[in-house]
Amino acid sequence: MATDSQNLKTAYRPTHDEAARQAFVGALKGYVNGSMESQLAAEYDNQLKFDFMEKHGQEPRDRYQGTEAFRHSHLYQLWGSAVYTSQNLMWETVGDTCDRLEPAFEARQAMLAKRPTLGSLELQDDFVPPDPIRHVEIHRQPGGYFGPAGSTDLHRGMHYFGTVELYRNAKGLGDGSVAVGEPSMGRYLLGALQRRFDAIKPRAVLDLGCGPGSQTLAYKEAFPDAEVWGVDLSAPFLRFGHLWAEDQGVAIHFRQANASDTGLPDAKFDLIISHILFHETWDDILPAIMEEAHRLLAPGGIFINGDTPYQPDRLSIPKQVTNHWQVINNGEPFWTRFADTDVKEALIAAGFEASNVFADYDPLGTGEYFIFGGRKGT
Amino acid sequence: MANRAHTKSHRGRRLVPGPDPRVDTLLGMVMALTSEVSMLRERLDAHESLAASGKVPDQDAVDHYQPTEADESRRKQYRDRLIDKVCRPLVASGQQDG
């Protein structure tokens, strides 16, 4: 049993049986994402494509026509049920660990509240997350990302935090060996930054859409002299992030705000990073977020983002169809609209010069990750 | 502007994704059971590993057992074989009827 003086990184440890159940979920997700999807692709290549051509006189051209081709496939329907089931099991098994550990996290929170803080936590009691995201359970996380105003809830942050590596590895976008809570994607994005720019020494760094804040720690680790900020819509996530950072003795300033309207001063930051922000954000607001990033950057400052690599021109029709299924049924409602967006065009429209924007792919796990952004002119 | 029909349709929780709720329910039950079988197999594996090293495999020892790299590799094979076996009729059924 964790005590109120135990470091949370040490305390967050599934029991033997919880770890075994979580490993099963990971393996099941790997099976449905890997073996079953391969069989769907084979069924499409050998049968469904030709059935569609016979009926429509052409091959399916996009995810909508592809979905029509798959609609009556028994294998496709069973695959959907298996994905759905694996997602339910993921939340349930990680939820068991969170339920067990929540009292220890609350005790640690109470103890740390008696000490001077290193960073800060700015929540707004009257903050209402915008439509439509406040009604959406992203990834079908039970209860979603938001809680009632004034709540001290840590569970939502813990729940997301506990699933993220499991989910990423099952998508082939992790190396499978990263412990829960390690800021592996933050470090990865810093590597992506180094691959594109000479070494920088930012005075201030912003993690835009920081979620539960665990990746934000990588930026303070890399730039210990910088003032590091994290902004997110979710109070429960920020509350968790503040606790996690303070527990590890890391000074980070967390602020509840919309990424398109952070309330932070002009030209405050030399580096703005986001990780999986845009595919969880409806595309209507994407231009405003990019304008806000441009406003917040100091001259010469860098905006770099890592997100899902599912642009349709890179994907086969079966893969577009299975992704579209996730949009409809598995809590990824903004995913494909983001994938359809020309981010370079959006960056230029937001004020970045055409010669200073980038959008390409870096290796990650068994796949690739979409890296895009721009440097503000001097 | 943000309230487009395609986002409205995702409000609330969908209970089941497929055309037949009975399939989703049954699959959920089968996978929950398989998860428990997998966990029990790993618990047995912990017993065997503890016993092999001369330790008493009581509840506390098993609860706190940290699998070695070799244990993890063996357990991964169990899991993959179990999932493949349980899902084989599902996939075969889909291939026949698809």
Tens place of pLDDT per residue across chain B (98 aa): 233 332 333 334 455 566 778 888 899 999 999 999 999 999 999 999 999 999 999 999 999 999 999 999 999 999 999 999 999 988 887 666 54
Residues paired with residue A362 on neighbouring β-strands, in sequence order: A369
Chain B, residues 17-46, CB within 8 A of chain A, namely 17-20, 23-24, 27-28, 31-32, 34-36, 38-39, 42-43, 46
Q: Which residues of A touch B3 (CB under 8 A)?
A: 131-132
Nearest to A131 among B2, B64, B83 (CB): B2
Residue B23 is predicted with a pLDDT of 84
Nearest to B32 among A43, A89, A135 (CB): A89
Class of domain A162-375: alpha beta
Sign of CA dihedral A267, A119, A138, A218: positive
A39/B94 CB distance under 8 A: yes
> How many domains does the structure of chain B reveal?
1
Q: In the A/B pair of chains, how many CB contacts fall below 8 A?
A: 147
Q: Are A331 and A141 in contact (CB under 8 A)?
A: yes
Assigned domain for B68 exists: yes
Q: Are B57 and B47 in contact (CB under 8 A)?
A: yes
Q: Which residue has the tokens 């047995």?
A: B44
Model confidence pLDDT, tens digit, residues A177-226: 667 788 999 999 999 999 999 999 999 999 999 999 999 999 999 999 99
Mean pLDDT of chain A: 91
A74/B93 CB distance under 8 A: yes
Pick the residue from chain A with its C-alpha nearest to B84.
A31
Q: How many CB atoms lie within 10 A of CB A323?
A: 19
Mutate to test the interface with B, among A35, A75, A145, A279 (most CBs of B within 10 A): A75
A81/B84 CB distance under 8 A: no
Assigned domain for B8 exists: no
A39/B91 CB distance under 8 A: yes
- Structural domain boundaries, residue B73: 16-97
End-to-end CA separation in angstroms for chain B: 40
> A129: Cβ–Cβ under 8 A, 6 or more apart, which residues?
A145, A146, A233, A234
Q: How far is A370 from chain B (nearest CA, A)?
A: 24
Q: Which residues of A touch B19 (CB under 8 A)?
A: 77
Residues paired with residue A370 on neighbouring β-strands, in sequence order: A307, A361
A77/B23 CB distance under 8 A: yes
Residue A145 is predicted with a pLDDT of 84
Chain A, residues 287-346, CB within 8 A of chain B, namely 325, 328-331, 333-334, 337
How far apart (Å, rounded) are the C-alpha atoms in residues A150 and A124?
9
Assigned domain for B66 exists: yes
Assigned domain for B4 exists: no
* ipTM confidence: 0.84
A130/B18 CB distance under 8 A: no
A78/B90 CB distance under 8 A: yes
Chain A, residues 53-112, CB within 8 A of chain B, namely 73-86, 88-89, 93
Residue B94 is predicted with a pLDDT of 64
Closest CA to A23 of A85, A89, A83, A84: A89
Nearest to B35 among A24, A136, A140 (CB): A24
A16/B46 CB distance under 8 A: yes
Q: How far is B95 from chain A (nearest CA, A)?
A: 6
How far apart (Å, rounded) are the C-alpha atoms in residues B82 and B86?
6
Mean pLDDT in consecutive groups of 10 residues from the start of chain A, 378 residues: 64 91 94 93 96 97 95 91 92 92 92 94 88 82 76 84 80 69 92 96 98 96 98 94 95 97 98 95 92 98 95 94 88 86 97 97 91 96
Assigned domain for B6 exists: no
C-alpha dihedral, A37 to A22 to A368 to A360, nearest 10°: 120
Is residue B63 less than 8 Å (CB to CB) from chain A?
yes
With b for 16 or more beta-carbon neighbours within 10 A and e for fewer, the A190-211 pattern comes to bebbeeeeeeeebebbbbbbbb
